[in-house]
Amino acid sequence: MFRAFCFRITDMKYILAVCGIALSFYMVKHRESIGNSLGEYEWMRKIGGIYAVVVLAAFIVFLFSIATITGTEEAFFAPVFWLLPFLRHAPDTGPQPEFLYP
């Protein structure tokens, strides 16, 4: 019974990527309420305002979710990983046998 609800790390990666796509659509649809709750700062006016910042953040979340689903996040975001190496994740080895069966 318990084994039916055990997800591998790779399965969870896809579930979170689909949630990221849904979040990006939610951010674009409700950008006005999100922008009003965050407030506007001086640096946001240079980009195009708070609503443009919310749409840009939604676009980045969408791109990262699609890259995660297709398995190309390492190649697609290589410049980001070079600048911020702590974002790079360890290779997936899957669940260890001693954790599968309690």
Q: What is the mean pLDDT of residues 26-41?
A: 92
Name residue, tokens 């969408």: 62
pTM of the model: 0.68
Amino acid identity, residue 45?
Answer: R
pLDDT tens per residue across span 64-102:
899 989 988 778 878 877 888 776 666 666 655 655 555
CA gap 18, 26 in Å, rounded: 12
Tokens of 89: 């994740």
Per-residue confidence (pLDDT) for residue 1, from 0 to 100 = 46
